Amino acid sequence: MVRAPWQSPGAPAPSDAGRSEPAGVPVEPGTVRIAVDLLGGDDAPAVVVDGALRAVRADPHLHLLLVGPAAVAGEVIRALDPVERTRVAVRPVDAVVGMADHPSAARADSTVRAAVQAVRAGAADALLSAGSTGATVTAAALGLGRWPDVRHPALVATLPAVGGPVVLLDVGGSLESRPMNLARHAVLGAAYASVAHGITAPRVGLLSVGTEPGKGDRARRLADPLLAAAVLPHGGRYVGLVEGYDVSLGARADVVVTDGFTGNVLLKAIEGAYAMAGGAPAGGGAPRAAALLGVAGTVVVCHGAARAGDVASGIALAAHLWRRRAADLVRALLAGADAPDLENRTDRTTDTEVPTS
């Protein structure tokens, strides 16, 4: 077996029994094909190459479609075992979207747009990019189409919290705080919490500067009654205003709704606080991968400063969401369909997580 450079000689060889589980996302069975934007990210392609290798080795049912320069894709393939190479395909593309480019500047032949096209054409089930968030959101919305009742797709991140995972949205899909957006995203967040994390009857809170009714800026004061009136899927209920603490405490809400500007800043502030506190908690640090909800497909965005482990986590998250049919189920919940039998889904998944060594 060829050993990847980050494996120490004494490390166990990848196998079903020794599966790594990046960022707490368990490996689930079922073949899934992820299109990976090789050129997206501050430290691309190096970290994307490393991340792709980690992901392939961690999940024996994972296939990758590497979208980018053939030479870069070749680095991934050469580092793999011959048997693993059968799970990797290449779509050669050379143009990248810069982090400073305007989102709509993504050229038709850019890696992120080619990855979107691969999903649209059925050559891949989902896509991951660590490139410019704005460009990925724009390319996905244009290439895959938006859900008819979601004007502004949301980026959804799941954070470890004292009381269990907390779903935070929007963390950068759209940056302006519009009350109707906040209300729509509350529904999306509740659906995502139930579908992606098996949280039943999710408690949904609106992030503000105090918990008393009326606290907050104009957008929050207008959104509060809209959220109170919203019908939340899967038994979700609106618990009112929550505060910054609640994102990491998780005692008051399972889903915290905010605008993409505040959510993005908040997520990075929590990551910075962990650094100041001496490191991320044992339960995992702030996530560097987020799911895009509101487009007709499974799209995961990694932070531009993503490292190899973050890219691997992002690929695993995309696989997890596709295997759970998360995009379809969230879409169905949003359209008022019956809630799927999530408890059974969760149980079945949990069984497969236990390695029988």
Could you list the residues that contact a copy of itself (CB under 8 A)?
A: 99-100, 102, 133, 160-162, 172, 175-177, 207-210, 212-214, 216-218, 220, 243-249, 258-262, 264-281, 283, 286, 304
Q: Least distance from C-beta 171 to a copy of itself, angstroms?
A: 9
Amino acid at 152: H
Q: Least distance from C-beta 257 to a copy of itself, angstroms?
A: 12
Our CB check for a copy of itself shows the closer of 73 and 166 to be 166
Our CB check for a copy of itself shows the closer of 110 and 262 to be 262
Matching residue, tokens 């450079």: 5
Q: Least distance from C-beta 157 to a copy of itself, angstroms?
A: 12
Our CB check for a copy of itself shows the closer of 247 and 293 to be 247
CB 311 within 8 A of CB 51: yes
Q: Least distance from C-beta 273 to a copy of itself, angstroms?
A: 4
Separation of CA 238 from chain center: 23
Q: Least distance from C-beta 168 to a copy of itself, angstroms?
A: 10
Give the span between the Cα atoms of 103 and 142, in whole angstroms.
12
Q: Least distance from C-beta 167 to a copy of itself, angstroms?
A: 15
Our CB check for a copy of itself shows the closer of 85 and 215 to be 215
Our CB check for a copy of itself shows the closer of 126 and 267 to be 267
Q: Least distance from C-beta 247 to a copy of itself, angstroms?
A: 5
CB 11 within 8 A of CB 57: no
Our CB check for a copy of itself shows the closer of 226 and 305 to be 305
Q: Least distance from C-beta 121 to a copy of itself, angstroms?
A: 31
Q: Least distance from C-beta 160 to a copy of itself, angstroms?
A: 7
Our CB check for a copy of itself shows the closer of 13 and 273 to be 273
- Beta pairing partners, 4: none
Our CB check for a copy of itself shows the closer of 78 and 218 to be 218
Pairing, β 166-169 against β 255-257: parallel
Nearby residues of 11 by Cβ (< 8 Å), 6 or more positions away: none
Our CB check for a copy of itself shows the closer of 5 and 279 to be 279
